[in-house]
Amino acid sequence: MEILYRSTRGTGTAVKASQAILKGLSDDGGLFVPEQIPPLDKSLKELAEMDYRQIAYEVMKLYFTDFTEDELRSCIEKAYDSKFDTEAIAPLAEAGGAYYLELFHGATIAFKDMALSILPHLMITSAHKNNVKNEIVVLTATSGDTGKAALAGFAGVEGTRIIVFYPKDGVSPIQEKQMVTQKGANTLVAGIHGNFDDAQTGVKKLFSDRALAEEMNGKGIQFSSANSINIGRLVPQICYYVHAYATLLREGKIAEGERMNVVVPTGNFGNILAAFYAKNMGLPIGRLICASNDNKVLYDFFRTGIYDRNREFVLTSSPSMDILISSNLERLIYHIAGNDARKNTELMEALKGEGRYGITEEMKDNLEDFYGNYAAEAETADEIKRLYQMCGYVIDTHTAVASAVYQKYLKETGDGTKAVIVSTASPFKFTRSVMNAIDGKYDAWEDFALVDELSDLAKVEVPGAIEEIRNAPVIHKKQCDVDQMKDVVKEFLCG
Ligand SMILES: *Cc1c(COP(=O)(O)O)cnc(C)c1O
């Protein structure tokens, strides 16, 4: 079955997967969605016998239907290799009565690696398939983790350049160090004076700037997006949910067909949307538990049916979730409206104009599978300490938001369904916040002393990604205001 992709705002014609991957965002500002969600065509038992790469192929072949088997397998082989520090690629750790799906074993120790290690290969393959001769320039706004994962993915990839904008004062010290030490002549990193939403809005503006696109085309350059709105990121994220279920089944931890709940620390809504797709492909998922930090727009949305970004932006210890406009939610809105582009467009216009919209009762009924809650800063810190003291397992701040929300969910519902808590970052990426949660005495310690102490406490080796930046020189020193982003891009590309 060939799958084509349409914009959630519905004006253009349907495009092939490779075209959707190349464009990132549709010309009308909408996001590409598959015309149908394809069902899994292997049984759960068969999947339980497969390794990560095989499962990735079984999932992606259903979506990227204009890729040949060789093309897709080659992309998968290049992505999920020894860059990951474990054969399992995405292992499950049992702790405190739940399963933690560790998605941080890739090059930059956060879950963005799961998709961004394959996206460059999908993009280059897509360019070849469509006879694109232009150089592909990836423009990215990051709340901290996407930036480094995209840099690591695209650095040195021939035919591409990558530009990353991050909020200068809105990422962790380790996140910033990881980005500004990035090597590779095809990379540029700039800190902007503003928050993540400002960076994201600025990048979206560059994408919709027709005059700029034409000027660049004249120089043999075209823009693409590595942000989580790209279908080439969404689909690879479905794979680890299928892999998690297959692992539980293989290890006898779940019966065939028995449901699992998933708990996802959410920002831009990409990760949990992938779980929604997995469920709609037939994977036995029960509730989709959406966890927010103090920026709890999504919690309010699931409770009231009203999405309202008019509120204070809070800087938290889980910066990758400090987001008030969850871009990928647009895909869910489109689906719960019955794949109605007109309705979706109306709501997105309201979001742009008034900063808020409300969904209909009928749409709200379609959200039954979701449960939303949030964890405040103190609750997040308490959860890190609780889990560590109970079983010695140390989680990062984002995972702790999910873990704390799962505890609230249990208390509220008593639902004994097995739970997979998505662990989106290594605790080593947020060492200071993690160590402060465990003991206030660490506040005065220096960053890398904390890293070594964490390694002792958790009995986990310091990841290579951290060792690398210990003494690495800062390469990228650029800073700019939001309205200078276009100049920064032009200067880098045209000299
Ligand atoms: C990006 C990120 C998230 C949020 O994921 P979304 O797909 O944007 O919802 C959560 N935790 C970490 C560590 C991240 O890097």
pLDDT of residue 204: 86
Q: What is the dihedral of CA 28, 31, 37, 38, to 10 degrees?
A: 90
Bridge partner residues of 225 (DSSP): 139
Whole-angstrom distance, CA of residue 257 vs CA of residue 260: 9
Condensed to tens digits (0 to 9), the pLDDT of residues 63-107 reads: 999 999 999 999 999 999 999 999 999 999 999 999 999 999 999
| Protein residue whose Cα sits closest to atom 14 of ligand 1 | 320
> What pTM was estimated for this model as a whole?
0.94
* Nearest atom within ligand 1 for CA of residue 398: 11
Asked if residue 320 has its Cβ within 6 Å of ligand 1, the reply is: yes
Asked if residue 269 has its Cβ within 6 Å of ligand 1, the reply is: yes
Asked if residue 178 has its Cβ within 6 Å of ligand 1, the reply is: no
Whether the pLDDT of residue 1 is over 90: the answer is no
Condensed to tens digits (0 to 9), the pLDDT of residues 9-65 reads: 997 789 999 999 998 888 888 999 999 999 999 999 999 999 999 999 999 999 999
Whether the pLDDT of residue 4 is over 90: the answer is yes
| Protein residue whose Cα sits closest to atom 2 of ligand 1 | 320
Whole-angstrom distance, CA of residue 374 vs CA of residue 368: 18
Asked if residue 268 has its Cβ within 6 Å of ligand 1, the reply is: yes
Ligand 1 center to 218 CA (angstroms) = 36
Whether the pLDDT of residue 471 is over 90: the answer is no
Whole-angstrom distance, CA of residue 481 vs CA of residue 468: 30
Condensed to tens digits (0 to 9), the pLDDT of residues 190-218 reads: 999 999 889 988 998 998 899 999 999 99
Test site for ligand 1: of 398, 399, 421, most ligand atoms within 8 A of the Cβ: 398
Whether the pLDDT of residue 237 is over 90: the answer is yes
Condensed to tens digits (0 to 9), the pLDDT of residues 382-414 reads: 999 999 999 999 999 999 999 999 999 999 999
Asked if residue 172 has its Cβ within 6 Å of ligand 1, the reply is: no
Condensed to tens digits (0 to 9), the pLDDT of residues 151-191 reads: 999 998 888 999 999 999 988 888 899 999 999 999 999 99
- For 222, phi then psi, to 5°, come to -135, 150
Whole-angstrom distance, CA of residue 437 vs CA of residue 450: 12
Asked if residue 327 has its Cβ within 6 Å of ligand 1, the reply is: no
Asked if residue 265 has its Cβ within 6 Å of ligand 1, the reply is: yes
Asked if residue 330 has its Cβ within 6 Å of ligand 1, the reply is: no
